[in-house]
Amino acid sequence: MLPSLTPFFEPASVAIIGASKNPAKLSNGIVKNMLSNGYKGNIFPINPKEELILGIKCFPSITSVNDRVDLAVIILPANSIHEVIKECGEKGVKAVTVISGGFKEVGKDGSELEKEIITLVKKYHMRMIGPNCVGTMNLTTGLNTTFIRGVPSIGGIGFISQSGAVCGGVVDHVAKQGIGFSHLLSLGNEADVSETDMIEYLAGDKNTTVIAAYIEGIQDGQRFIQVGREVTRSKPVVVLKAGRSAEGAKAVSSHTGSLAGSYDAYKAAFTQGGYFEVHTTKDLLNCAMALDWIKPPEGNRAVIVTNSGGPAALASDSFSDHGIILAELNEETKKSLAEKLNPAAQVDNPVDMLGGAAEDEYAHALEFALADENVDMALAVLVPQSLVDPVKIAQAIIEAAQRSDKPVIACLMGHESVQQAREILHANKIPMIDFPTQSGVMFHALIAHRDNKLRHKESGRGLTQLGTSMVNDLLSAHPNLKFWGEHLTRDVLKTYGLPIVEGRLAKTIPEAIESAQELGYPVVIKGASNDILHKSDARAVAVNIKDSNQLERSYREIMDNMQRVNSKAVIDGLLIEKMAPEGKEVIIGMKRDPSFGPLIMFGIGGIFVELFKDVAFRIAPLTPAIIHQMIESTKAYQLLNGWRGEPAYDIQAIEDALMRLSQLVIENPAISEIEINPLRVLPRGDGALVLDCRMILE
């Protein structure tokens, strides 16, 4: 837990600067909320024009308050906040929440103003939430510095949002549903306190069992991952990322640049940090509710108990989408089910009891299905019927769930007719959803939390004595060069031990012939120009050159092709390389993300990389476990691992190359992008070879 954040949630006193007695003002709503939810500390409204606000003595300024003030909530015009922050600092206030907008979200002038106030906050060793937020709630103490109407039930969900509107919408959505929260935290512009700070704080909060976060952007990506890896081993964090469709800046000069959008970095960060990502607000709340109330299953085998086949089919699809399988019920279970169910009922999984199934049938079916050793979890589905009481069905589900230690989720389709049933289920901490399509992601969240708890702590493993100083020398030799072709990039990769196919740079035909004779035919020849990075597109590659006559013809053709593609290109010569053995082609590369740093890519390589887009991304520094999981997440892994009787290829060599690439880009921040395409992977035990590469510097 971050002690510096405690004054935001457990202050002995709160000043509301800019408080108003006008009920139409937001600041009046803040005072009202502070008085209405059981907060026991002192409240000091600040307004030089008022004597009383809602019956509380008002003070002309923060400095006129004689008592200690732990937290100041400021809602004033942006241009007047600088002086108020200074007064708070001189008063000894520990934390400030700036509700007001008008800062970096409105442009350059607002951004400058925000920088000025954060400088003051740091000068006086304070912490600040906001600006441009709606405040925070601590449901267990009754502290409510927001102007949001209403409060949710008390429970274990700590909700973090970079959007105040989302906070307000969530509060209204969960009203009367019994979904409980420990905190609701609106962060706004995050000029000081960030989402990562809040995750770290809530990780140590005894009243919070699960953290849910709505995220628009991350400032310190590396810390976000590191904190996540620590927190999620004991407490689940569910995240909803806004702006997934934004493509971000793309560099057309490399496949890595064109394939790696900003969202790829977020997906990699969520995976490496142990965060569980969802794609809708509904899933965010549902998964948080499930993680708050029920324990994870032992495995991924589920049973569906239903009174209708259609919803069971939808649930089955949802399960399949999230790696959950339908359990194979044993014969004893089927026999027991058949004893009390309708003779026409289906006793396989899904267990379809038909439309008229009553509460005793639900109780019977759930009891025996949950007792089956092949079942890890259960979904109970009800489509309301005129002769069936949803409340009685809910009670039957509760009783069956309480007799088992396996997680149960209820799906009662509808709204009005099942509202009372929802209240009863939620009062007994059985999550209820409206539609079966919502079930798979909830069980998946529980399984992911189980896996995180079993995850071993792993630190990064560096490769010692690599070539940082030599890379610096190479870069210094070309201080103004941004785009580096293969003939220069090869030397950089060599310093970090990446396996380079043997080759020579030749500037004339005689030099090329001599190099080919030294290497031994057959050879490959390639154009060497930093102005032409995509050699295949420029027809600047010739393979399987078997003698000097063929080499001379190909040399001239390649030179002509490069000049035709770019008449102004500076051509350094031709690269003569030993013809490599046959193997499978993969791509590895890196694009530096502004929030997270080096984003490493792996996938199927060669000319089809952008067609198939079978790629995975992770953020450096990588560990052996991260690399292995990264490779396994692609279809390329199946191809390399002996697909349909083909030989297995040297995956260990890929893992080693990725580790070396990770260290290269971590230790050499001047490298903006780097790509190895293809890395030819040889049969298992024979290694891999870099056949082409390119690099871009900042």
Give the CATH number for residue 157: 3.40.50.720
Q: What is the pLDDT of residues 519-570, one digit of tens each?
A: 999 999 999 998 887 888 889 999 999 999 999 999 999 999 999 989 888 9
Q: Which has the closest alpha carbon to 369: 403, 395, 342?
A: 403
Judgement on whether residues 560 and 602 belong to the same structural domain of the protein: no
Last residue of a domain, one of 418, 438, 454: 454
Judgement on whether residues 356 and 425 belong to the same structural domain of the protein: yes
Judgement on whether residues 151 and 217 belong to the same structural domain of the protein: yes
The pair of structure tokens assigned to 471 is 């890379």
Judgement on whether residues 674 and 542 belong to the same structural domain of the protein: no
Number of domains in the chain: 4
Distance CA 551, CA 7 (A): 75
Which CATH number goes with the domain that contains 314? 3.40.50.261
Domain membership of residue 259 (yes or no) is no
Q: Given the structure tokens 């995976």, which residue do they identify? A: 271
Domain membership of residue 413 (yes or no) is yes
Last residue of a domain, one of 530, 553, 578: 578
Last residue of a domain, one of 242, 266, 282: 242
Judgement on whether residues 565 and 606 belong to the same structural domain of the protein: no
Domain membership of residue 61 (yes or no) is yes
Give the phi and the psi of residue 416 in degrees, each rounded to 5. -65, -45
Judgement on whether residues 74 and 219 belong to the same structural domain of the protein: yes
Which CATH number goes with the domain that contains 549? 3.30.1490.20
Judgement on whether residues 119 and 195 belong to the same structural domain of the protein: yes
Judgement on whether residues 199 and 309 belong to the same structural domain of the protein: no
* Full residue range of the structural domain in which residue 608 is found: 584-697
Does the predicted model carry a pTM greater than 0.85?
yes
Domain membership of residue 311 (yes or no) is yes
Distance CA 613, CA 598 (A): 19
Domain membership of residue 316 (yes or no) is yes
Domain membership of residue 280 (yes or no) is no
The confidence score (pLDDT) of residue 644 equals 82
Domain membership of residue 468 (yes or no) is no
Mean pLDDT of the chain: 92
For residues 438-459, average pLDDT: 91
Q: Which has the closest alpha carbon to 305: 445, 436, 447?
A: 436
Judgement on whether residues 175 and 210 belong to the same structural domain of the protein: yes
Q: What is the pLDDT of residues 549-559, one digit of tens each?
A: 999 999 999 99
The confidence score (pLDDT) of residue 459 equals 58
For residue 608, how many other CB atoms are within 10 A of its CB? 13
The confidence score (pLDDT) of residue 536 equals 82
For residues 610 and 534, the answer to whether their CB atoms sit within 8 Å is no
Judgement on whether residues 172 and 300 belong to the same structural domain of the protein: no
Judgement on whether residues 553 and 596 belong to the same structural domain of the protein: no
Distance CA 145, CA 29 (A): 9
Domain membership of residue 253 (yes or no) is no
For residues 35-60, average pLDDT: 95
Judgement on whether residues 207 and 323 belong to the same structural domain of the protein: no
